[in-house]
Amino acid sequence: MSKWYLTGLFNWVESDYDDLDYTSATLHAGYLLRRNMRVVGEFTQVTNPVSYGKVNVGIITSF
C-alpha cells in the first residue's frame, strides 16, 4: 500500500444574487509519515468572481 494519496475538489455555485457566484478547483496531495502524522500540500485555483491561485502546505498530527 502506498503512503501517497491525491484528492481533487471542484466547487461551482450559481446564485440568483450575483455576488455569491463562485467557481474553484482544488488539488490536494499528501504523504503519510506515521500512523498519526501527515505532510500535505494543496493548490486552489479560483476562477470566479476574480481569478487567482493559492497554495497551502502543512503537517497534520493527531494524538
Q: Which residue has cell 503512503?
A: 3
Q: Is the pLDDT of residue 49 over 90?
A: no
Among the listed residues 45, 39, 48, the one whose alpha carbon sits nearest the alpha carbon of residue 18: 48
Contact 41, 28 (CB under 8 A): yes
Q: Is the pTM of this model over 0.75?
A: yes
Q: Is residue 28 very low, low, confident or very high in pLDDT (cuts 50, 70, 90)?
A: very high
Q: Is the pLDDT of residue 19 over 90?
A: no
As a whole number of angstroms, the distance between CA 2 and CA 19 comes to 42
What pLDDT sits at residue 18? 86
Cα Rg of the chain, angstroms: 15
As a whole number of angstroms, the distance between CA 20 and CA 39 comes to 33
